[in-house]
Each structure stands twice: as C-alpha cells, then as structure tokens.
Chains A and B, each alone.
Chain A
Amino acid sequence: MSEESTTPLKIVVLVKHVPDVQFDRHIDSGTLRLDRAESVLSELDEYAVEAAVSIVEANGGFAAGHEVIAATMGGKGSGNSVKKALQMGASSGLHLNDDALAGSDTIATSKALAALVEHAGNVDLVITGMSSTDAETSVVPAQLAERLGFAQLTHALAVEFDAAQRELAIKRDHLDRTLTLKANLPAVLSVTDQANEPRYPNFKAIMAAKKKTVTELDLAAIGLDAAAVGALGSNTEVIAAEARPARQAGTVINDSGQAGIALVDFLAEQKLI
C-alpha cells in the first residue's frame, strides 16, 4: 500500500513559563502579580508538545511539510518555555514579547493568543495543556475556540487524528460518562496528563533545537493595542492577595499497636465523628 500524501498541518502549541512548583511561590504585595523569577515550562504543557510532535510523526514526519510552532506570550524570560518545546521537537518558536502583557487575565490572554494564532496564519490546530500550573483556570483553550471559531476539544484523555478526514477524536470525561468527541479541523485541543508520555529531549535534540528559529513579535506586530491586554484589557482585577499562614505540623506518634484507636480518639476530640 502506498503512503498517502496528506496536506501539511500547521500546528501551534501554546506553552507558558510558570514559577517552578517545587519551590515557594509568591504574589508580589505591591503589584498583586505573581513573581515569575524562577520560571520553567509549565509541566502540563509538555503533554501538549508531545501530542503535536506525535501527530506529525504519525503522518509522515516533518519531512512531509508539517509545522509545529511553539508559541508563548509574556516578557523577556518567557522565551525559555519555547526553548524547551523546541528541544522536545517543535519545529520553530513564536514569542509575543511585550511588557504590556503583564497582568492579563484570561479574557486579555485569550485575546492576545487568538491574535497571535491569527497572525501565524492558516493554523489547523492549536494544542495546549489542560491547565497552567500557576493560575490553574484551565479556561483559556475554550476561550480561544470561542474567539477563533475553532472546534473546542478540551481535557482530552486520549487523542486520535484521522489525516484523510482531517478529523480529531478525543476521549473526555463529562458528568458520569466518558465521551468520544469528534470534530474537523481547525480545532483547539487541550490534553490532560493521561493523553501521552512526554519525551525527554536527548543531547542530539538539544543541539538541534539551537538551530531552530524563534520569531519575536510585539503587540503592534500582531495588530493589538497595549490597552487591549494587561490590566487595561482585562475584565477582572485582583484587589487583595494575602499569604495564608503555613500549616503547622501537629502531633506525630509511632504505632505501637494502638494507633488506629488514637486516630479515632482524635476524630472524637475534634467532633469529626
């Protein structure tokens, strides 16, 4: 059987640089914004990069003309997340780099990202992780589908792509059921951590990534005013942020045969039973 040639796919994978969850994270008491100093690629975005590269590999590889563009928005440091995505196999990078983006809520973020996808032109598929590990709203993919008029296939537990039909099928939990949802491209796809196993970039991939192009754009280049994003372009504002007192360790006992009883005593003392 001869291999069918498929129309090349143009895939945008959205990646986000977020404060490393392994360390203490802080909200600045003055600006009420997240301190992004020690930031890394959001762990959940690795599943999105893997999904994109897998679809390409299953359909003739990059030699067939497919593109996987790792795109991000934010200030200077946010470009690091694109680098990691390139090491994992994305073919090029796109960085909407503008200080005016700081403080964008989901409304402003989805506006900027939709404009970025439209600027990239003729995009077939936008892939994201299930949620960022910082704000954790997980609503931007749905908002992008709304803005772009793309089909919304979100929270995918599994993904299949039918190149001949240009149709995506995903599994998604909904109420008390697991649904199989299908839609034709163009689509916005968000994948959960169940969807695949992200690859670790090897030395060769890391070296190859250095030769890949990352295009930097500012808001003007994609036709957006600074007032359309950031605090001015957002429809919400944070008015206070207070660190919760850290939980204190309580009593620790060694089980010498009666710890189950001690547990129930504790429940009774705290009126939990």
Chain B
Amino acid sequence: MPSALVFFTELSAAPSKGQRELLTLVSGFENPAVAVANQVSDEAQQVLASYGVVKLFTASGDAPVFGQHEISVLDAAVQATAAKLVLLANDNFSRELGARLAVRRNGAIITDVIGISGDLVATKDELAGSYSVQARATNGTLFATLKPNSIEDAPAASSTALAVEELALENSNDAKVRIAAAEAKGASDRPALTEARVVVAGGRGVNGDFGPVEDLADALGAAVGASRAATDAGWISHDAQIGQTGATVAPQLYISAGISGAIQQKAGMQTSKFIIAINKDVDAPVFEIADLGIVGDLAKVLPQAAEEIRRRKA
C-alpha cells in the first residue's frame, strides 16, 4: 500500500464533512499523514488520531501574501513524507495548490475525484456526470482533490499515537499577490452547499421570494441552492449558485423548486441520489430526470411539505 498525505488550509476540532471524508480516505493508506497550514489545537489533533493518522505536519504563518504560506507548507510536507498520494479538498484554492505543486514536482493532478483504489486508480465523473472515468498518474506524485459526499465518513476502530512535526519553511520566490482587503461573508447555520446531505434549490419560479425554499431547507436540515437565473436576479447570494458556473452538488436528496432544469443547471446536480422537482410548467426539462415530479405552485407545495415534516418529527 502506498503512503499518503492530506493537506488542509486549516483544521478545527470539528472538521467539515469533506475534511472527515479525506481523513477516512487517507487512513486506508500506508503511514497516513496530514499537513495543516495553520495551528492545530489539541482537540483537533485528537480527531486526527481517531482516524488513524500517525503524523501531523504544521507550520503556522500569517503572511499577507496570498497562497504563499500554504504552498510552502504543502511542498515541505510532500518532501518530508515522500508520499505517493497527496489528497486535497476540491475547492478552487486547494486544487490550484495541488496543480501548482504537480507542475513544480513534475507530478500528476486529478481533480473532482470520488474514490481512489489502493493501487492509486482514481475514479471521477466527466462531462457533468454523464461519464464515469478512471485515471491514474503515469509520473511522479499523484495530487488528487476529493469531491465531498464521495466517501462514507468512518473513523478508525481505535486511536493511533500522533507524532507532530513543525516544518521548517524555505523562503519562496513566488510572484507576489498581496491581500489588500478581506471582507467576511455572512455566516450561515445551514450546512455547506457542496457537503450537504440534502439541498433545496430555487430558481426563476420563486419570483424573488426564497422564504418557502429556506423554510423547507430548515425543516430538512438542508443547504439552500439556486439556479443562475435566481442569483443573477439578485434574489440570493451568488454563493448559492448550482450549475456549470457555480457549485456542483451530489447530495442524497436534491429538491428543485421553480427551476426549469436547463442543461447548465443539470450539470451541477444530476449525480444527486434522489431528485424531486416542483414546477408550474409540465414541460420543464427537470421532470425528465426527477424521481418525483410535482406540477404545481411551489409557494403552496413547499410550505405544506415543511409543515408536514415538522408535524411528523414532533
């Protein structure tokens, strides 16, 4: 079994679902190691040990230079472990780190991975989920970014002893990208869109009012998504956008409300396990891929469903 390393920008004592999936995946390889570009609390170290991770590399740093500290940490950890497989999150920042380092070390990069076998064959979806592809590295270290909701979260049966090493970083000569300002985005109590088990999404048909979509989402403990028409109209933040130019989601359950299901939208959600669609237009293309289609007014159907869920849970 080859050795493997996971990289995180930061890791709290309550790792995200995607981070837990990465820890589960790495624990199946030889000498599972983790590198974090920030301080890792004792509680977070215990979480790592609970997944069978044996080695933690850290180096905290707070340079006002975008991405430089993170790539230095990743580079140093890859050198220190000689890992054959380096796993990263699937967000833009992490995949760019992996891609840059793959160039620097003449290795391989595969994004949007949903599984990796013991002999390092990666499985991923292509063409918006219409193909399943298997690929592998032909040279050097394999850098792979893992799509959330791909792997069953499974801590190890018993905790391991975790060795911690502070990395000594070399100065990098990367072209400087300065962080001139940082603005916090509104925090939400709902699960992250790409990691959520359930997503409720609204489109043009919500007519400016995401209230019924959000209400059903909260009854289900779901994330809220939107079509590009809805985000372009300014009804909801661009962060909620699902589709070709937004997030790609693959939850257990996707509820589509007032979205016609044009091809760009489908591209972002058609690998969901179950799809329920509500639309006024009987000819909406979304009905072609929905397990349950409801021709009706979302402003009536969604509140009724939310109320019924709360009634049954009570």
Instruction: Tell which of B180, B183, B276 touches A263, judged by Cβ atoms closer than 8 Å.
Output: B276
**15 cross-chain CB contacts under 8 A:** A25-B130, A133-B244, A138-B95, A143-B102, A145-B100, A149-B175, A176-B184, A177-B185, A181-B66, A238-B133, A242-B132, A250-B290, A259-B296, A264-B309, A264-B312
Closest 8 CB pairs of A and B: A260-B304, A255-B296, A139-B99, A252-B293, A142-B96, A260-B305, A250-B291, A235-B108
Looking at the complex, which of B24-32, B42-50, B136-144, B151-159 is the stretch in contact with chain A? B136-144
For residue A22, give the distance in angstroms from its CB to the closest CB of chain B.
Answer: 6
Say whether, besides A155-B92, A177-B182, A235-B106, A142 and B294 are in contact (CB < 8 Å).
no
Q: Which residues does chain B contribute within 8 Å of A105, judged by CB atoms?
A: 108
Say whether, besides A139-B109, A273-B309, A174 and B93 are in contact (CB < 8 Å).
yes
Closest to A261 in B: B308
Complex CA distance for A260 and B270, rounded to whole angstroms? 23
Q: Which residues does chain A contribute within 8 Å of B314, judged by CB atoms?
A: none
Complex CA distance for A106 and B312, rounded to whole angstroms? 51
Instruction: Tell which of A22, A44, A137, A240 touches B134, judged by Cβ atoms closer than 8 Å.
Output: A240
Complex CA distance for A139 and B103, rounded to whole angstroms? 11
A contacts with B, residue count (CB < 8 A): 87
- Asked if B1 lies at the interface with its beta carbon under 8 angstroms from chain A, I say no
Say whether, besides A139-B96, A236-B135, A244-B129, A260 and B302 are in contact (CB < 8 Å).
yes
In the complex, chain B residues 1-53 whose Cβ is within 8 Å of any chain A Cβ: 9-10
Instruction: Tell which of A110, A177, A181, A254 touches B295, judged by Cβ atoms closer than 8 Å.
Output: A254
Besides A27-B133, A235-B106, 7 other CB < 8 A contacts?
Answer: A139-B99, A147-B103, A177-B185, A181-B178, A252-B295, A253-B293, A272-B253
Q: Which residues does chain A contribute within 8 Å of B270, judged by CB atoms?
A: 247
Interface residues of B (CB under 8 A from A): 9-10, 66-67, 92-93, 95-96, 98-100, 102-104, 106-112, 121, 125-140, 175-185, 187, 198, 220, 238-239, 244-245, 252-253, 255, 263-264, 267, 270, 274-276, 278, 282, 287-297, 300-309, 312-313
Closest to B123 in A: A240
Asked if A176 and B177 sit within 8 Å, CB to CB, the answer is no
Interface residues of A (CB under 8 A from B): 21-22, 24-25, 27, 32, 34, 44, 105-107, 110, 130-131, 133-140, 142-143, 145-147, 149-155, 157, 169, 173-184, 186-187, 192-194, 234-244, 246-247, 249-255, 257-264, 266-268, 270, 272-273
Instruction: Tell which of B110, B140, B245, B292 touches A192, judged by Cβ atoms closer than 8 Å.
Output: B245
Q: Which residues does chain A contribute within 8 Å of B274, judged by CB atoms?
A: 270, 272
